[in-house]
Chain A
């Protein structure tokens, strides 16, 4: 059974900081990797995805996947108060079940 672990559980950083969120997964056959962001009381929304080993950058956000080490990460450059949210990593293979990690609650202080 797929197991996804996130660290840290919560994180407080000052505005402008570089933030790193981590995710480890157990199924080396996983093919699709996602980061979702959920602001308080709102629906989760996909932030970025990656389907092969390596790195992908979109604006201030970079995700990195290393299937050999079963590790997946999200990095935020120049963190803003509006980035404060619950961040959820998720992965799946060729099946419907998307498995989410426990989440990291990020707070960016102005």
Chain B
């Protein structure tokens, strides 16, 4: 069975500080990987997707970056946090076909003060 793990569970950070969020998927080889951002009670905004190691496509610019250093790992980061970065960050995976559903991780709750 596939499992998706995100870390940390929650973060409280200061404006201007750096951030690194992680995601690992076990039990599935070469999945598509995605990062989403969700404002409290709001819609999901896709940020990045990756179909292979070392390759990441940006969907929307939010002063964030993403990397895929290993087949099962996806990292979201920024050098300088903004207040607008607060929210719920979700990692997801899917099979390598756009017709398959995306499976979401438990998420990381980020509060920027």
Task: Give residues in A with beta carbon < 8 Å to B.
Answer: 31-32, 34, 42-46, 49, 51, 86, 88, 90, 92-103, 105
The answer to whether B44 touches A100 (Cβ under 8 A) is yes
The answer to whether A88 touches B44 (Cβ under 8 A) is yes
Cβ of B45: which chain A residues have Cβ within 8 Å of it? 100
Asked if B12 is an interface residue, CB under 8 A from chain A, the answer is no
The answer to whether A43 touches B106 (Cβ under 8 A) is yes
**Chain A CB within 10 Å, residue with most, of B42, B44, B49, B107:** B44
Given contacts A34-B101, A99-B46, A102-B43, 15 further A-B pairs with CB under 8 A are A32-B99, A43-B106, A44-B104, A45-B103, A46-B101, A46-B103, A49-B101, A86-B41, A93-B98, A96-B32, A96-B59, A97-B49, A97-B59, A103-B42, A103-B43
A4 to chain B, nearest CB (A): 9
The answer to whether B101 touches A102 (Cβ under 8 A) is no
CB closest residue in chain B, given A92: B98
How many interface residues does B have (CB within 8 Å)?
Answer: 22
Cβ of B101: which chain A residues have Cβ within 8 Å of it? 34, 46, 49
Cβ of A93: which chain B residues have Cβ within 8 Å of it? 98
The answer to whether A45 touches B104 (Cβ under 8 A) is yes
Task: Give residues in B with beta carbon < 8 Å to A.
Answer: 32, 34, 41-46, 49, 51, 57, 59, 90, 98-99, 101-107
B51 to chain A, nearest CB (A): 7
The answer to whether B43 touches A98 (Cβ under 8 A) is no
- Can you report 17 residue pairs joining A to B where beta carbons are below 8 Å apart? A31-B98, A32-B99, A34-B101, A43-B105, A44-B44, A44-B104, A46-B103, A49-B101, A92-B98, A96-B34, A96-B98, A97-B49, A98-B102, A100-B44, A100-B46, A102-B43, A103-B41
Given known contacts A44-B90, A51-B99, A96 and B49 CB-to-CB distance under 8 angstroms? yes
